[in-house]
Chain A
Amino acid sequence: MENLDILKRKLERERLARKQAEQILESKALELFEVNASLQKLNVSLEDQIDQRTKALQESESKYRNVINNASDIIYTTDSNGCFTFINPVGIKSFGFSEEEIIGKQFAHFVLESHQKQLLEYYINLRDQNKKNDYYEFPIRSKDGETHWIGQNVNRVEKPDGSIYFNAVARDITLRKITERQLEEAKEKAIRAQQAEQQFLANMSHEIRTPLNAIIGMSHLLKDTELDAKQSEYIDILADSASLLKGLVSDILDISKIDAGKAEINEESFDLIQLINKLSKTFANRANEKGLIFETHIDPIQNTFVLSDKQWLNQILINLIGNAVKFTSSGKIDVVVEKIKEDEKTKTVSFTVKDTGVGIKEEDKETIFYAFKQATTETRRKYGGTGLGLSIASKLVSLLGGTLELDSIEGKGSQFYFTLQFKHGRIEEKNAESIQEIGQKMTNSLSVLVVEDNLMNQKYILTLLDKWGIQHNIANNGLEAVEAFNNGNYDLIFMDLSMPIMDGYEATSKIRSLNKKQIPIIALTASTFLSKKQLALESGMTDFLAKPFTPEDLARKIKKHSLPQYKDDSVQNSELHFDTRLDVDSLNELYNGDHKHALDMFKTYLSLVDDELHMLTQAISKNNKASAKKQAHKIKPIFTMVGLNQITEHCEDLERALDTENNEMIQKFFLLIKDAVIHTKPIIDSNTKEIELYLNKTI
């Protein structure tokens, strides 16, 4: 009975234990189920997220692919060896090959052989990070054999594993290159046309000046003969008209020279105040005749000598004062010269010409500075003139470094003013002598050969020489001149340039080749163009005398070249063998009177400068900044050696600009250098010849 109870309890315990176990298991199963469900949920959400991200990536990829495929620029990538890994459709079109033909090929494969070395350098620089995505242009040969120009910026990209590749944005610039070449050709054509025009003008001026010279000369001589009152009056009218015509021709020539950038500045030392006084005297008479008051106000200046172009300054003031007198019928003309600043090296002076004349309308204030423009056609009818005066004055003021400005009220008067900075001039000890004194000092021992085919000009010169008691002979052309030179013993030759049978250049070369003593040969030229002078110097001539010339001009040349006591200081003074447009101080310091050394350097400069400039031009045009900088640095010192210190400074500026991305500045300084080199070359050339001549004389 007891055993049965125990058994019952055992069974009951086991039943309850099973039940308990079942409950536990069930709750565990539920737990498991819930965990599983949440895991599944997590899984779904993870998959969703992956889906979304994949989709976003695909969209982004497709967006960029679209941009790249539709870009108007070429976009490509290459591996570190420069082999194509991708190229967009525009690129494929430009290269002209199929995608399969491009991918995997090395970049250089498509580039013209002439540029492969440079291209390699470009990529090596990029790979080694010597430079960052520099712009670079190069030609490729497309499948059809045509040359296409490509301009590109390449980026070096470093992958997380440290390996590199390149991606590039490039553009087919073939059209631009063609346009550039056409522009260059058009420019050359325009320059040639301009040269032809200048040549024409030079020829015309020669043709007009030669007879004009004779008319003026003859009227001078005629005035010296005995004349009755009527004849004297006619002669005066003749002389005036001829002078007017000469002025007109000069004006037209001047303006064309200035416009062509060929106007030279011939610096000389002169007395500024004396120039003003002389002008004032002339115009005061004319003004007084018209019943006008003429006053000159000059600030006291310590050293009145300045270094400038006397002729140009004179012409500016003549034009301005002449206009003031011309356009004023009553009232007053004031010429005011004020010292603005004066220091050790320079003085700054302002010039004002003020009148109480007709004045200028507001709307005409700009146009009156243009060539051939007078305020109105009415003005022209009433006052005459060419309308060139103000244009010339304005341009010449600019040439001398100033700006011509104008204040005017119509009907009340005008005021023209400008300010110039001058270097101090040398104070001249001796005052100019009169022609008579020169004539008296010229001895009979002097013998001159005049080579001139124009009878009028012959007569003019010979009459003057007779008057001064100088022995002379005439040769009608170059051939006669060479013969006469061989047979006679002359101290000086005046040589016309254009002559029949043999011209002046050839005759001079022949005479120089005879290698007798170095006789001074002075060119008589109607051309004031630099090129003509250049040619004359090259053929061996010593100096120039521009036609038409006054008796005073002729006398000055004779005394300069034949009378030792009158010779220009320059022969003794080593400083004066350098053109004043060069940095004379620095040159004298550099060569210290060693002319042979200077000559060597000048010659070296002339032989080098073209090639060096060419190399710089190349580097700039290829936008190769490193190479341009190297070249600018390299050529810098050669300019100092010939006194072109300004260009050296430009080179320094260019070097600095090349360190920046400022392409405008780079172009600006490069053009400054280029223009300066081209414009100064004739100066260096003629100065070289002068030094050579000096050395020959002293040996």
Chain B
Amino acid sequence: MKGIVFTEFLDMVEKKFGYEVVDQIIEDSDLESKGIYTAVGTYPHSEVVNLLMNLSDRVKLDPTLLLKEFGKYLFDTFLASYPQFFNSVDNAFAFLHSIDRHIHVEVLKLYPDATLPKFESEETEDGTMIMTYKSPRKMAALAEGLIEKSIQYYKEECTIQSENQVEDGSEVKFTIKRIG
């Protein structure tokens, strides 16, 4: 997993809960990397899961909720680092379509070894958007946080329903409906 996920995750934990918690979950997690991350490095996916579970234990919060919050936090980072992806379209649905078709294509050019989730997107006749998240990493909550934040970014209001397509959460369908 790309280092940026780890550095941003620990940044978020520090901002929300203080460095003390960061220190605790690193110490709790018996990590191969000893919790030393840089944005340009690559680290095992299991470490982020480990950190997330230990954070959940420490702060007594649902890991899914934490992951969703991380998604929201990550959106701001992406927006600051890659504004060109957001300026090229003018509405949320167009942006969501562009993730799989455009943004991930560009990411792979920069990081050929990155394991990216699949985001299949389609719009039904009544204007509902169906997005299907597919990833062995099972981090659909992170995706949901990102989706929510991007709708807000384009100043739109939508309802988002998520539904597991596969029990283990490796495939999740989001149904996004505009309000009004």
Contacts and interface: CB of A to CB of B under 8 A. Distances in A.
Interface of A: 3, 6, 9-10, 13, 16-18, 20-21, 24-25, 28
A25 B23 contact: no
A10 B38 contact: no
5 contacts: A6-B23, A10-B23, A17-B38, A21-B38, A24-B41
A21 B23 contact: no
Given A3-B20, A9-B23, A13-B35, 10 more contacts: A9-B27, A10-B19, A16-B34, A16-B36, A17-B36, A17-B37, A20-B38, A21-B40, A25-B40, A28-B40
Contact of B41 (A3, A9, A13, A21): A21
Contacts of B40: 21, 24-25, 28
Contacts, number: 32
Which of B20, B26, B34, B36 has the largest number of chain A CB atoms within 10 A? B36
Contact of B19 (A6, A16, A18, A20): A6
Interface in B38-90: 38-41
Contacts of A10: 19, 22-23
A18 B41 CA distance: 11
A32 to B, nearest CB: 13
Interface residues of B, number: 14
A17 B31 CA distance: 14
What are the 6 tightest A-B residue pairs by CB atom distance, in nearest-first order? A21-B38, A16-B36, A6-B23, A17-B36, A24-B40, A17-B38
Contacts of A18: 38
Interface in B10-42: 19-20, 22-23, 26-27, 34-41
A20 B36 contact: yes
B16 to A, nearest CB: 16
A122 B68 CA distance: 88
A25 B41 CA distance: 10
A3 B37 CA distance: 22
Which of A3, A6, A28 has the largest number of chain B CB atoms within 10 A? A6
A9 B26 CA distance: 10
A114 to B, nearest CB: 76
A334 to B, nearest CB: 114
A37 B40 CA distance: 24
Contacts of B34: 13, 16
Nearest to A3: B20
Nearest to A28: B40
Contacts of B39: 21
Nearest to B38: A21
A16 B34 CA distance: 10
A4 to B, nearest CB: 12
A328 to B, nearest CB: 119
A13 B37 CA distance: 8
Nearest to A19: B36
A209 B36 CA distance: 144
A16 to B, nearest CB: 4
B120 to A, nearest CB: 34
Contacts of A13: 26, 34-36
A21 B40 CA distance: 7
A3 B20 CA distance: 8
Given A13-B35, A13-B36, A20 B23 contact: no
A28 B111 CA distance: 13
A21 B36 CA distance: 10
A9 B34 CA distance: 11
B35 A20 contact: no
Contacts of A3: 20
B13 to A, nearest CB: 12
Contacts of A17: 36-38
Contacts of B41: 20-21, 24
Contacts of A21: 38-41
A551 to B, nearest CB: 129
A13 B31 CA distance: 13
A16 B35 CA distance: 10
Nearest to B22: A10
